[in-house]
Chain A
Amino acid sequence: MRRGALGDRLLHAYTWLVIVWLSAPIAVMILFGFNDKQSKSNTTWQGFTLRWYAELFEISDLTVALRNSLVIALVSTVITVVLGTMLGLALGRHRFRAKGVTNFLVFAAISTPELVMGASLLSLFVSANVPRDANTVIIAHVLFSLSFVVVTVRARIVTLDLSLEEAARDLGATAWGTFRQVTLPSIMPAVMAGAMLSFALSIDDYVVTSFVNGSTVTFPLWIVGAVKTGIPPQVNVMGTLIFGVGVLIAVANAVVARRRA
């Protein structure tokens, strides 16, 4: 046999093991969305059904929680992308006072444990007398996803040829026209990546949200609350749908990025 054949086979086995390890929870989630369960808990396979897809919105609290999560994720993503892109542009392109401090804060926001961030936000809101609701959740989500957008946009900006923008100016474009027609399309892949990252971070956040939600319930908060009484299969179905949309967006982004590159 070839030299290293054993090593090759071990590598194959290991690779498959990792793939199974990573996808098993997702597979189980999808599978149990089709479980025709009779008992309260949804942990043993009892037969195939599409019932939970039909009754997806039967549990009104859960539906409200999902809608809250989607709205919060969308709003916080839009705010994060606009602010983060501007910050990334400034940090990647310009020299200004407090640039070092800003860079440090961006890094600090990434490295701060969520528990610390949640607790400090709560004490801030309490001492400033800000009522906790969906708005404070949005503020918190913008805070912890902002840095990721900044980092991706900044990385893209520093590799961008400065003369592209000069060429646009030279050809008669205004400052805004240059940004809209040249700069923004050039950094779009990074902006989209940042947007997806911040949406994903927002929609599944539990720790920070649990500090600042007040009486607003989000999808992850509802699930954790339901653990004791048993998680209904609708949660699996919603998880499956969210996962499916996520995969579609990722594939679409990859296709667009390949066409642009």
Chain B
Amino acid sequence: MTGLSAIELEDVVKEYLSHGEVVQAVKGVTLDIAEGEFFSLLGPSGCGKTTTMRMVAGFEAPTKGLVKLHGHDVTDVPPNKRDVNMVFQSYALFPHMSVWDNVAFGLKQRRTPQEEIRRRVGEMLEIVDLAGREKRRPREMSGGQQQRVALARALVNRPRALLLDEPLGALDLKLRQAMQIELKRIQREVGITFVYVTHDQNEALTMSDRIAVMNDGLVEQLARPRDIYERPATAFVAGFIGTSNLLAGTATGGEMKVRGGRVLVPGHDGEVSVTVRPEKIAIGQDEPGPELSGVRGTVAEVVYLGTYTSYSVSLADGADITVFRQNAHDSLAAAERGDPVWLSWQAQHSYVIGS
């Protein structure tokens, strides 16, 4: 990241007319995406992430607000005059053209000299590992190969930013994981800003420099992956990213009383909601010391999941707490179904949202 802005959205709103009613798909999004950044828009379907990206590409005009590319207002510039390229969810490869002609398409539109087209298309096919398949038609290739053709077709134009709309959605798990690493490598190699739309939290956490979590047309949180995961800003983010436990109550003197125990919330008073990640919680028979948060409960479910075991523990007030325990040293369970247990975690792992 150089700190320069590649893409700026200023209070962008998108309204649709649907069956005579105005629907707001995007309700005022402000983003500042830096040069060379791998930026993800993450959220459930219908949250407005794809619409937001399509406004950057120029396929949708914002109802209100500004879209800027490298400081220039492009809100009214058509897609073919914007210096960004997009990789479509369906790849949108031209079926009647060879791989070579697909990749060369953008350069031909810009009337690039033949010699340069030949050189750049060749180089790009080298980068995406498709050299020697220039004459193939898209339908003769596997999903992963088509994906790489789509990537090459966009990147060969050396856009200032590359927009990717759920590009790995159609691939199976193994291939998707391989392509995630591949995408990161390509992004490092070409040094272009990537804006990545996905509903897959793992994908976003793995690849991104920063993530904007979107819900219902708004950005709920914009932060680095670690902060999104460890310090969710809202209950929605906490629930959407990974598994998380939510505890609520009234805190006095930095301690929140719950039935069967206490939660340490240093520096907070009054009504608070607290999230705790399942892997931060220890499960045991003995009451923890006063330096730890601790609650009593009964094991309701034990699920062995290979690298870890998931415990579901019912508290006295009826809440269920999920705990992950690494199967590091033995495969013996720490507790059986029906056992009374103590759950404990360090104060820093209670993350207070909206106190």
Taking Cβ atoms with an 8 Å cutoff, the residues of A that contact B are: 161, 163-164, 166-174, 177, 181-182, 185-186, 260
Contact = CB atoms under 8 A, between A and B. Distances in A.
Interface of B: 57-59, 78-81, 85-86, 88-90, 92-96, 105-106, 109-110, 153-154, 157
A170 B57 contact: yes
Contacts of B154: 170-171
B79 A170 contact: yes
B94 A170 contact: no
Nearest to B110: A172
A164 B80 contact: no
Nearest to B139: A261
- From A161, A169, A173, A181, name the one whose CB has the most chain B CB atoms within 10 angstroms: A169
Given A172-B110, A186-B96, A163 B90 contact: yes
Contacts of A168: 94, 105
Contacts of A161: 90, 92
Given A166-B88, A177-B109, A260 B80 contact: no
Contacts, number: 62
B96 A173 contact: no
A163 B85 CA distance: 13
B109 A173 contact: yes
A191 B270 CA distance: 72
Given A166-B59, A166-B79, A171 B106 contact: yes
A163 B89 CA distance: 9
A180 to B, nearest CB: 11
B109 A164 contact: no
B90 to A, nearest CB: 6
A194 B157 CA distance: 37
A200 to B, nearest CB: 26
Contact of B80 (A172, A185, A186): A172
Contacts of B89: 163
Nearest to A261: B139
29 contacts: A161-B90, A163-B88, A163-B92, A164-B92, A164-B94, A166-B59, A166-B86, A166-B88, A167-B86, A167-B153, A168-B94, A169-B79, A170-B57, A170-B79, A170-B80, A170-B85, A171-B106, A171-B109, A171-B153, A172-B81, A172-B106, A172-B157, A173-B80, A174-B109, A181-B105, A185-B94, A185-B96, A186-B95, A260-B96
Contacts of B157: 171-172
B188 to A, nearest CB: 24
A171 B102 CA distance: 10
- From A167, A168, A173, A182, name the one whose CB has the most chain B CB atoms within 10 angstroms: A167
A170 B86 contact: yes
A46 to B, nearest CB: 53
A227 B36 CA distance: 82
A171 B85 contact: yes
Contacts of A185: 94, 96
Contacts of B93: 167
- From B57, B106, B110, name the one whose CB has the most chain A CB atoms within 10 angstroms: B106
Given A161-B90, A186-B96, 9 more contacts: A167-B86, A167-B92, A167-B94, A170-B79, A171-B153, A171-B154, A172-B110, A173-B105, A174-B80
B7 to A, nearest CB: 15
Contacts of B58: 170
A171 B306 CA distance: 46
A188 to B, nearest CB: 8
A170 B109 CA distance: 11
Which 3 A-B residue pairings sit nearest by Cβ, starting from the closest? A171-B106, A172-B109, A167-B92
Contacts of A186: 95-96
A161 B154 CA distance: 18
A215 B107 CA distance: 57
Contacts of A171: 80, 85, 105-106, 109, 153-154, 157
Nearest to B96: A185
